[in-house]
Amino acid sequence: MNFDLNEEQLSVQKMVRDFVANEITPNAKQWDQEETFPMDLWRKMGDLGIIGTSIPEEYEGSGMDFISHAIVAEELGYGCSSMRGSYSVNISLVAKTILQWGTEEQKKKYVPGIALGEMFGCYGLTEPDSGSDAASMKSTAEKDGDYYILNGNKMWITHANLADVSIIFAKTDKDKGARGITAFLVDKGTPGFTPQPIHEKIGLRAQDTGEIVMENVRVHKDNMLGPEGKGFAVAMSALDNARFTVAAGCVGTAQAALDVAKQYAKERIQFGKPIAAHQLVQQLIANAAVDIEMGRLLVYRAGFLKNKGVRNTRETCMAKYFCGEMVNRVTYDMIQVLGGYGFSAEYPLERMYRDSRINTLYEGTSQIQQLIIGNNELGIPAFA
């Protein structure tokens, strides 16, 4: 495995890093405070090719590899976790899932618009009473001629109120558990399909989150994503991609926190010298640097396997588990370096700390990642 980024990857890194420094980082605090998502900037990202970096050229992407995809996620995570989260959902959960499971008509209808930043997608798996145990979902899809009638609720759905297309999972056979789940593509404005916003979150405040209520939603059979009864496989394949993107974003946020703390430690004078000269501060900095580097290498390892097209659930779960926990450790410790200033909005660490908390919860909790890894190590068939 070559640890050097190639010329194309370095070019992507520079482009996105410069864009983040100029357009995202200076505005992230305001977006967080106002709970607003910068739609104009998102479309600008689409025009520059940042969103569709890893989407094939035939669907308006750049056709780059998974390492380039991780680089984009890391750089976006450096500037604003809400922006990285939107990238993760639109590309990893929605566009790549449609590319893997969709018909050619479905791919052409949805993927180019998402890659160009002109469309939003959402991923409707979680329900009020169904989180880690996805097979226990209560949403149903009853066949009615050439249509399916969807009923149920989805909860904690990113882009619920923005999405032009929603991947919705529902049971076409309530007696078959995971094997009775089917995935559907539901267009915005479909009668009976009603999103509702969720506010007052700890973090990711600039990112739209909502609940979806489905009351007799009629969806044509041509809008089925993948075969009937294969929805659980569709969902898990999507999570393999999303967990990878989340992990990469965690590396970026942790790196940003470390950079803020290093700069502060060089400037803050205590006991007659910069606090960077005190060994216990250096210990916090050193531990963070090692954590970040370990996380980045786990992400690149998973990306390396994804580029080869081989199974990578184990490595992706390792990256997501480690990086989700790591970014919480790092942001916590970097606030410690800043002391009282880290506890205030004068510095971005408090926002990074709040935004980081979700990473051990969504796309599979840390405990779910541990179960998947443990099952893999022991040769036990995994449920996810």
DSSP codes, 153-217? EEEEEETTTT-SEEEEEEES-TTSGGGGEEEEEEETT-TTEEEEE----SS-TTS-EEEEEEEEE
Q: Pick from 231, 216, 239: which is nearest to 172 by CA?
A: 231
CB of 140 within 8 A of CB of 150? yes
Helix (H, G, I), strand (E, B) or coil at 171: strand
The two most distant CA atoms of the chain are separated, in Å, by 80
Which of 267, 346, 363, 377 is flagged as catalytic? Answer: 363
Answer whether 28's CB lies under 8 Å from 351's CB. yes
Q: Which residues contact 80 (CB under 8 A, 6 or more apart)?
A: 20, 24, 25, 27, 28, 31, 206
| DSSP bridge pairs for 144 | 147
293 noted as active-site residue: no
| β-pairing verdict for 193-197 and 209-220 | antiparallel
Tokens of 32: 């967080």
CA–CA separation, 278 and 164 (whole Å): 53
Contact yes or no for 357/202 (Cβ under 8 A):
yes
The catalytic residues are: 363
